[in-house]
Amino acid sequence: MTQAELVADIVRRGRAASERLAELRPDVKDAALRQAADALEGAAEEIAAENTRDLEAGRAKGLAAPLLDRLRLDAERIGAMAAGLREVAALPDPVGEVTRMWTRPNGLQVGRMRIPLGVILVIYESRPNVTADVAALCLKSGNAAILRGGSEAIHSNRAIAKVLRESIARAGVPEDALLLVSDSDRALVDALLLRDDAIDLVIPRGGEGLIRSVAEKSRIPVIKHYKGVCHVYLDEFADPKRATELAVNSKVQRVSVCNAAETLLVHAKLSERVVADVLGALAAHGVELHACARTREHFPAALPARDEDYHTEWLAKVMSVRMVDSLDQAIEHIRRYGSNHTETIVTQDVTRAREFVRRVNSSSVFVNASTRFSDGFQLGLGAEVGVSTTKLHWYGPMGLEGLTTQKFIAFGEGTILE
């Protein structure tokens, strides 16, 4: 097939599968997901063997050790993928949910009902387990998935997709519900990104570079998740114990993730002793502090912060610190340096808490809770397909609901417009 034919074939198969998928009963989809989980476990050796080919090629290409680790699949990781499929099967089905219903003066009963988006293109990097995760979320929400994984994981991805396609087909779900694009040609993806007539959404999962490049080329709407420059704001009325616990948990519970805090804002009227305690606790956890001059007066061990530090997503045991004179200043700092991801206020004052929640329009805004909760699982969405830091369609951690839209439905009794 020429590339144009290949693109036409992929979108045609995706659309046809999406029409059938949208009509499937929840129990058919759930049985398919459970069957796919069993099949993955049954094919663990085969998948591991294909994974070994990727690992060998990766070593030959000189991939760094952390990348090789992310690429590796063993029986345990394959078991985790299968468990993930079973968890998605156990979630409530979003399709067909009527979110609200009301009656018009003329008796017309009007509502909104969730339906799948249609066809979703997911572009991701090295970890092959994403293939199973994303396929499961798309299938459950009634969407066909076109998956484009990283070239380093090509054999692993092909093996996983083969097992999934065969097993869902046995359960009565069209195998084209999952289409893996394993052509290594980047031009093929670029051509898919122009097909806004046939593909409804693009989700790039990876670094900022990948996301920017996809967003620039795409005619199709893109869920963008740039970076997480998350803030912890210790208000004048912060409880001292909570201040320390929340600053430490937000920063060090896991440093390499987007919802880890990167900047600590401290109200100038918070007692010197509390400031010293919080910063001391962070330092004791090995955090390198980059602080403004006023903070360093209280805590001279901190390094001086440069302006660019406040823009930085450290993803490491490093934290920027700034002292502010008011809630206004804290909010202004967040607007200027933040990335619309997650911010939390630590305060016992209800007016300050309300004001922070009302005025800060990042995608997750918390009171007396760790930034680490900004995650689909932790917030109770049951799953996560990504975090959107732009406002259209979805904002914040995105689960199954974000993979649907809502149509209007209305029931009359021969109701006509006068």
What is the per-residue binding string for a second copy in 1-40, x denoting contact by CB under 8 A?
Answer: ------------------x--xx-----------------
**C-beta of 60 vs 408, nearer to a second copy:** 408
- Are 124 and 205 spatial neighbours (Cβ–Cβ below 8 Å)? yes
User: How far is Cα 36 from Cα 41, in angstroms, rounded to an integer?
Assistant: 9
Q: Does 118 bind a second copy (CB under 8 A)?
A: yes
Touching a second copy, residues 333-352 (CB under 8 A): 335, 346
How far, CA to CA in Å, does 73 sit from each of 47, 125, 155? 8, 15, 12
CA atoms within 13 A on the CB side of 173: 36
Shortest spacing between CB 383 and a second copy, in angstroms? 15
Q: C-alpha dihedral over 233, 236, 240, 241, to 10 degrees? A: -40
Three-state SS at 235: coil
Angle between helices 272-284 and 240-252 (to 10 degrees): 30
- What are the strands of the beta sheet with 201-205, ordered from one edge? 178-180, 144-148, 119-124, 201-205
Stretch that binds a second copy, among 68-76, 110-118, 158-166, 184-192 (CB under 8 A): 110-118
**C-beta of 72 vs 242, nearer to a second copy:** 242
Q: Does 363 bind a second copy (CB under 8 A)?
A: yes
Shortest spacing between CB 270 and a second copy, in angstroms? 16
Touching a second copy, residues 157-196 (CB under 8 A): 196
In total, the chain counts a number of residues equal to 418
Which of 59, 269, 306, 407 is in the footprint of a second copy by CB under 8 A? Answer: 407
Which of 80, 113, 171, 318 is in the footprint of a second copy by CB under 8 A? Answer: 113
Three-state SS at 399: coil
Contact residues for a second copy, defined by CB under 8 A: 19, 22-23, 96, 102, 104, 108, 110, 113, 115-118, 196, 200-201, 215-216, 219, 221, 239, 241-242, 245-246, 249, 253, 335, 346, 353, 357-359, 361-370, 372-374, 378-380, 390-397, 405-417
